[in-house]
Amino acid sequence: MASSKLFGGTNLGEIANAVKDRKAPSPFDLGTAARPSLAAAELALSGRVLPTTERDNIYLVDPRRCRPWKFHNRSLTWYTKERCQDLIDSIPRDGQLEPVLARKLNDDPQFDYELVYGMRRRFACEFLNCKLRLRVETLDDTRAAILMHAENADRQDITPMERALSFHAQIEAKLFATQDSLAEAFGVSKGQVAKMVKAAQLLKHPTVSQLFPERSVVPVEQAYKLAALMERPAAKEVILQAAQNLLKRGDSSREPRDVLKVLTDSLDRSKKFEAMSRQYHLGPAKRLVVNRNLRGKVTLAFPQGLHGMNPEELNAALLQVLKDFG
């Protein structure tokens, strides 16, 4: 059979030999099993095909049989028609260009696979009622975390707080021995990891967490600063009390940055006060007990009641309270 030629008489085999003579790197060295760096046509030119092992771990499956990996770093708010509209539009037109990464499950009757990354593609395929293309790998949790981070590192649709919460969860679960080892594995600065983990710790306080129905949009920088302030003596109690007061008001319309500012400012409102407790005698059998908390709130108590109290002695005691507590 005559060899194929391009326009102008160039022999395709000569092209392949020229590439080989230049010692061009293999497409499999530059890409991944599921995404070689050279197009399929270029593979054909060089007479190469996907190795069997690289073909065999790609499957088309029912997306409903896939669940997220427990350390998946996207919040559930991403899985809506509006937020996945780009994929819902492109998959029928172009196909699912990239497979998701999955691990096989053997102990869950409801699911066959867990997705290390690719949950938006899963949502789009379920919405479109089409098969999900996935690549199955045998991975431990640490390796899965590294691959998930590499896949999502440059994505703009994952918020900084989602990454911070993911880092915190992985450290707590001992996927990495230290924050420094996580930073090294992900190629992120140690200072950045430390800041993000501390910011995520703020949302581990139930009272504070309840103020943010959607935690993923909480600003990391503000959360980090507030978490650092909570390490000061007595500051934690003041901030948690301020959070409790916000919850009681039931104001859920505030922006996250405004909520954090209110909590931070609560320290400025309380810093000039010291907790105090004093007793005042109102005659031989009566007492007045006065307490002031860190926020400056003053309470008066009459353990023996007000019945039979001398008004002049009470007025004198109250004037002294005003002088003492200012």
pLDDT for 40 equals 41
* 3-class SS of residue 5: strand
* 132 HSE (CA, 13 A, CB side): 29
All CATH 1.10.10.2830 domain ranges in the chain, comma separated: 160-271
pLDDT in tens, 189-216: 999 999 999 999 999 999 999 999 888 8
pLDDT average, residue stretch 289-293: 87
Q: How confident is the model at residue 16 (pLDDT cuts 50, 70, 90)?
A: very low
Q: In the structure, what pLDDT confidence band is assigned to residue 53 with cuts at 50, 70 and 90?
A: very low
Give me the residues paired with residue 101 across strands: 117, 135
Residue 58: is it exposed, middle or buried by C-beta count within 10 angstroms (0-12/13-18/19+)? middle
Per-residue pLDDT averaged across 228-243, rounded?
A: 89
Q: Which residue has the higher pLDDT, 285 or 96?
A: 96
Q: What was the pLDDT predicted at 206?
A: 93
Residues contacting 79, CB < 8 A, separation 6+: 119, 120, 123
Is the pLDDT confidence value at 39 over 70? Answer: no
Confidence (pLDDT) at 78: 75
Which pLDDT value is given to residue 42? Answer: 39
pLDDT, residue 271, reads: 58
Q: Residue 6: CA atoms inside 13 Å, Cβ hemisphere, count?
A: 8
Quote the mean pLDDT of the chain: 81
Mean pLDDT of 234-259: 87
In tens, the pLDDT along 62-94 reads 999 999 998 887 777 777 888 889 999 999 999
Reported as a pLDDT band with limits 50, 70 and 90, residue 326 is low
According to CATH, what is the number of the domain 160-271?
1.10.10.2830
Q: Are strands 132-136 and 113-117 parallel, antiparallel or unpaired?
A: unpaired
Cα–chain center distance at 161? 4
CB 119 within 8 Å of CB 158: no
Q: Between 58 and 50, where is the model more confident?
A: 58
Q: Decide if 211 contacts 258 (C-beta within 8 A).
A: no
Q: Of the segments 44-58, 199-213, 276-290, which one has the largest average pLDDT value?
A: 199-213
181: Cβ contacts below 8 Å, ≥ 6 apart: none
Q: How many CA atoms lie within 13 A of 22 on its CB side?
A: 8
Q: Give the predicted TM-score (pTM) of the model.
A: 0.63
Q: Is the pLDDT of residue 171 over 60?
A: yes
pLDDT in tens, 248-278: 887 667 899 999 999 999 887 655 567 888 8
Q: Which of 27-31, 111-115, 180-184 has the lowest mean pLDDT?
A: 27-31
